[in-house]
Amino acid sequence: MKWLLITLGILALIAGYSYVTVSNGPIEPLGRLSFVKLANPDMYPGHPDSELLVKYAEERGSKCALVVHFTGSSNYRSYNDSGVYIIEVGFIDTQGNGSINMSQVNYLDSFKVALFGIPDGRYKYMSDGHVYDTYDEMMAHVNELAQEHGQEGPLPLVWHGTVRQDNPILAQGCGFPLYFQILTQTYGIIPAYVYTIKGMLFPYFNNPYRDFELKNYATLQSYYDQGLLNENYKTVNDSYQYNIYKNNQNYD
């Protein structure tokens, strides 16, 4: 009983410290946005995931929101959706393309990242068609966009979370490492742990598409790979966008 009380006390201190630290900061970490892709392109005005992020921002009185991805064929253009400015950033892992499926996850590398954070210089970043070489350059761009579009208070942050292969309950999906890096850089490693775990649970309580996505994830993944979720899927085989998509099968 004594050790249980000590453990609970330590956990309470960690949670309290993390809450106070994050509640006074410039980023409001929400968590994972989605489980699987519902449409292609990934995010655009009127896309279900975009509308959901707009809802989250409006609930918090925010004029902007930040969504992070693995880089793929997109330029990660920021855009306005229903009065909320959606800022998009993708990360490029210079030591690999990220895991394509669960069987290719480098667990030792993931463990090192979880313990020590992202090594300096490992990632590059794509936003609005430009590649940023450093984290500071990327965040300067994000903060400039937020300021230009009237952001007041902390900026809501999500990782997209979509999984193209494997079970989306196990795989955390698109953008997860960058979300963790932003929290680590902004608040330190302990709050990053706490709010990353909290963020994993976020869609189970907030995403209205949760049941549909999880029950139909294999079908949706198959449809995505066949191009059937493309915005213009009826003529998709003749489109430049489809050729770009087919040439980037191993990317988000």
What is the pTM assigned to this prediction?
0.86
The lowest-confidence range among 177-186, 214-223, 233-242 is: 233-242
Task: State both tokens at 38.
Answer: 């519902």
Nearest to 142 by CA among 24, 22, 154: 154
- Cα angle 26, 31, 32; round to 5: 140
- Who wins on pLDDT, 2 or 39? 39
pLDDT at 147 over 70: yes
Most confident of 82-91, 92-101, 238-247: 82-91
Number of H helices, E strands in the chain: 9, 7
Residue 13 DSSP SS3: helix
Beta carbons within 8 Å of 125's beta carbon, 6+ residues apart: 89, 90, 91, 92, 131, 132, 135, 137, 138, 178
Type of residue found at 79: Y
Type of residue found at 130: H
The rounded mean pLDDT for the chain is 84
Distance between CA 186 and CA 176 in Å, rounded?
16
Band of residue 114 on the pLDDT scale cut at 50, 70, 90: low
- Work out the average pLDDT over 167-193: 93
Distance between CA 115 and CA 110 in Å, rounded?
9
